[in-house]
Amino acid sequence: MTSHDAYGPRAAKSLTLIRPHADLLTREICAMFHDDLLTHAGRDDILAQLNTEEFWASQEGHPLGRLLDPDLKHHALRQSAQDMGRTLAYLGVENTWLVDTFDTLIIGLRRHPLMQSLPHAKQTHIQDILVSRLMASLSGIVAGQRQIIRGQLRVTSAVARLAKTCTTLNDLARALLETLLTLEGMVAGTFAKPDKNGTLQYEIVAGATVERHASTFADYQSLPNIYADNPLGCGPSGCAWRSGKPQRSLIITREPSLAPWHRIARELGYVSHATIPILDANREPHAILSLYHAAPGYFSTADRTNLVDRLHAVLSAAVTRLGRDTPAVHYTIRADYRERLAQGALTMLYQPIIDLKTGRLAKVEALARLRNPDGTHIPPLQFLPAFGAHDLRRLFALGLNQAMADLHEWEHRGLYTAISVNLPAQALSDPEYLSIAQAALHDRPIEPHRLTFELLETGDISPQETAVRRLTNRWRRLGVRLAQDDLGSGYSSLLRMERLGVDEVKIDQEFVRTVARSPRKALQFIHHLTRLVHDIGLSVVVEGLESRGLVEAATILGADAGQGYAISRPITANALSIWHRDFDLAIVPESPTTALGAYATLLLRGVLLNLARSRPALLRHVISEPCAIAAYMENAAIPKNSVLKDVYRKLADVIRAGADPQRYEKTHKRLERLLRMEIRREEDVMADSRHGMGGASRIPLPYAP
């Protein structure tokens, strides 16, 4: 029998023969499944610690309950089986148990008295239908388990990466909570420290119930305490603090020590729980990380026990590495940020993005700020972590409409340009963002290609890549452009962006900022990444251009556009009109005026010479081309008797001789060192200048926000 034969009118007609007994048989199948599965579980396995009601409560909508449904569709069965597979994975159920249990189910159905009482032909057909549906259920369950395993592996890998890259404990805790909340079924997470009375105060909270979680604890006066003589210090937080070891609960509402929080757990859907103490170098507690899941015993399986232990080690090591005094924004302040947004305290500033080939304004990036009562601005790095999904959608809608209104106003003033608006990562899976953009384009019609949506990050989208592509295609059909702010790593990330229809990629300013201490590494990164992006037909925007040297280097290395303080700081809509009137960008790649521009030229020339080394004709052509380093020395008025000019002449002689690679390498490195000294000197001059560029630049002084 094919899977198609197990559904549809013919299958429905056969199953009507056992309809009077369907409920009883379904209960027997479910009981058989649970009892046989239980025979494989050891005494310490989660499954063995759950009663029948608790087990089936965690398997709501399971496929076995619809096995005898005449109207059942294959896709519906498959989906419910995957859902069941995920919840069974939460309980630590292994594939081998399932295979044996389904084999038992099939044998039991074939021998069931009800089946034996049917005419042989009908009996065979109904048995074939049920076996086919059971095998489809098993396949779906296994697929669902694999999804959970993949998610856990991804999160485990992310934990290791975050441990190396975050620079403050609060940043690490926040990033870990956000990462852990991507695990299916994870409901919430908190990061807290005790006050002088030992009461835990929440500094970072994450999850859909974030606001209700914190406010409910306060309302019930049931904030956990760390002291044993306090009635609220006997829960897992207090025990974790005093013992220095992670605490776990199978089912929160089953444990007497958690009685003060039973009602909260039921209201918020918290079923199981893990509390992780964060210790300093002296093994003294510093903070508490708490995690809540919607399934029983989630943190008690072997692999998740390892994850909890890993978090314990990572966060404790971070306290040792980063120190105890880690600044954090209290939850109440974050709540204040959300209130400001709701009351309309949003301001949009704009940072120009310049076409580096033409020197003209390509577009502006709209940047959100929250206004303080005194008129100062709160940057997004402070307020964005405070926002939930609803707040982020509201921020996007308000910011987009304000930016488009300013775009229309600029046109009235004679400035025709385009605009880039940040788009949160969740917009790729949340169609509400698309609806907001459609409404904005309808209310304030502009040519859609003048609107770029800049994806702040994509993360690992592979589990839902089909859905993401489908929604991304709908964005594309709007006619807007898409940009990506975070490449991820490797060429495969670029290919994925191409498949998703991204038009441009931004090189983050964090990479660019390393240029002063490591110019070769930073410029090579820009060069190679630009080539990779161009290879797949996308354009490159370089952020963080804070000096004329960086602007020159990005232009010479082939970037398409750039932005940064050397061009302009983020400014108001009114200030942009004035800035544009006075703006003059004059970058000539063949004639750099800065050491960094000359260094970029040297890097490119080295690449060409290496390629041409085995081809004499090409080598002669490269050598004969005018060298921009000579132009730099003339523009910078480098004295004729300087060491830099002397070494440059020696390198030219070595290149012309073309027969001594070691001498070439030695002279080339010496020239690099001298240029790096010039770069550091230029950086020092820029640091001493109030405006960063001084009066020597042909790029106008940046406006303050």
Q: What is the CATH number of the domain that holds 96?
A: 1.10.490
* 539 and 499 in a common domain: yes
* 353 and 472 in a common domain: yes
Radius of gyration of the chain (CA): 32
Q: What is the CATH number of the domain that holds 362?
A: 3.20.20.450
* 526 and 418 in a common domain: yes
In a domain, 337, yes or no: yes
In a domain, 703, yes or no: no
pLDDT for 394 equals 93
- Burial code (b: 16+ CB inside 10 Å, e: under 16) for 213-244 equals bbebbeeeebbbbbeeeeebbbbbbbbbbeee
C-alpha span between 410 and 348 (Å, rounded): 14
H or E element in which residue 520 lies: helix 519-535
pLDDT band at 693 (very low <50, low <70, confident <90, very high): very low
C-alpha span between 440 and 473 (Å, rounded): 18
In a domain, 558, yes or no: yes
- Sole residue written with tokens 């959608």: 393
C-alpha span between 560 and 580 (Å, rounded): 19
8 A C-beta contact, residue 80 and residue 63: yes
In a domain, 705, yes or no: no
Token representation of residue 663: 């001498």
* 429 and 477 in a common domain: yes
Amino acid, single-letter form, for residue 24: L
Q: Which of 328, 362, 395 is the last residue in one of the domains?
A: 328
- Read off the pLDDT of each residue in 28-52 and give the average, rounded to a whole number: 88
pLDDT at position 433 over 70: yes
For residue 590, count other CB atoms closer than 10 A to its CB. Answer: 11
Burial class (CB in 10 A: 0-12, 13-18, 19+), 105: buried
Token representation of residue 43: 């005494």
Amino acid, single-letter form, for residue 367: L
**Angle formed at CA 322 by CA 316 and CA 324, multiple of 5 degrees:** 70
Alpha-carbon torsion 322, 327, 332, 335, what sign?
Answer: negative
* 427 and 361 in a common domain: yes
* 606 and 557 in a common domain: no
pLDDT at position 447 over 50: yes
Q: Nearest CA to 108 among 134, 82, 89, 72?
A: 134
Amino acid, single-letter form, for residue 91: L
* 344 and 272 in a common domain: no
DSSP state of 702: P
Least confident of 256-260, 497-501, 592-596: 497-501
* 130 and 183 in a common domain: no
In a domain, 702, yes or no: no
In a domain, 159, yes or no: no
pLDDT for 362 equals 95
* 336 and 323 in a common domain: no
pLDDT for 462 equals 46
pLDDT for 385 equals 67
Least confident of 56-70, 483-497, 557-571: 483-497
C-alpha span between 191 and 444 (Å, rounded): 43
Burial class (CB in 10 A: 0-12, 13-18, 19+), 512: buried
Q: Report percent pLDDT > 70 for the chain.
A: 86
Least confident of 77-91, 276-290, 518-532, 618-632: 618-632
For residue 57, count other CB atoms closer than 10 A to its CB. Answer: 12
* 324 and 338 in a common domain: no
State whether residue 296 is helix, strand or coil.
coil
C-alpha span between 459 and 455 (Å, rounded): 11
C-alpha span between 583 and 567 (Å, rounded): 9
- Read off the pLDDT of each residue in 592-602 and give the average, rounded to a whole number: 91
8 A C-beta contact, residue 341 and residue 370: yes
Token representation of residue 347: 């301001």
pLDDT band at 489 (very low <50, low <70, confident <90, very high): very low
* 346 and 479 in a common domain: yes
Q: Nearest CA to 580 among 421, 351, 347?
A: 351
Least confident of 14-23, 248-257, 447-456, 485-494: 485-494
Q: Nearest CA to 170 among 320, 292, 287?
A: 287
How many H-runs (helices) and E-runs (strands) does the chain carry?
28, 14
Phi, then psi, of 694 in degrees rounded to 5: 65, -170
Q: Which of 294, 328, 362 is the last residue in one of the domains?
A: 328
Name the strands in the sheet holding 200-207, side by side, starting at the edge strand that comes first in the sequence: 200-207, 186-194, 285-293, 272-279, 247-249
pLDDT at position 220 over 50: no
Least confident of 183-197, 307-321, 463-477, 565-579: 463-477
What residues have CB less than 8 Å from 67, skipping those under 6 apart?
Answer: 26, 29, 130, 133, 134, 137
C-alpha span between 487 and 104 (Å, rounded): 49
In a domain, 698, yes or no: no
H or E element in which residue 506 lies: strand 504-507
pLDDT at position 403 over 50: yes
Q: Average pLDDT of the chain?
A: 84
Alpha-carbon torsion 551, 554, 556, 558, what sign?
Answer: negative
pLDDT for 381 equals 82
Q: At what angle do helices 661-688 and 595-612 cross, to 10 degrees?
A: 160
Q: What is the CATH number of the domain that holds 173?
A: 3.30.450.40
Tell how strand 285-293 and strand 346-355 pair up.
unpaired
- Sole residue written with tokens 């890259």: 165
H or E element in which residue 277 lies: strand 272-279
Largest CA distance in the chain: 108
Q: How many domains does the chain have?
A: 4
* 125 and 28 in a common domain: yes
pLDDT at position 499 over 80: no
In a domain, 323, yes or no: yes
C-alpha span between 300 and 278 (Å, rounded): 19
Token representation of residue 301: 């399986």
Q: Nearest CA to 599 among 562, 556, 634, 638?
A: 556
Helix spans in 244-356 (H) = 262-268, 302-322, 331-342
Q: Which of 580, 615, 639 is the last residue in one of the domains?
A: 580
- Burial code (b: 16+ CB inside 10 Å, e: under 16) for 529-568 equals bbebbeeeebbbbbbbbbbbbbbbbbbbbbbbbbbbbbbb
- Burial code (b: 16+ CB inside 10 Å, e: under 16) for 358-372 equals ebebbbbbbbbbbee
- Beta-bridge partner residues of 274: 248, 291
Q: Domain span at residue 630? A: 595-688
C-alpha span between 148 and 182 (Å, rounded): 11
C-alpha span between 111 and 116 (Å, rounded): 7
C-alpha span between 435 and 520 (Å, rounded): 45
Amino acid, single-letter form, for residue 354: I
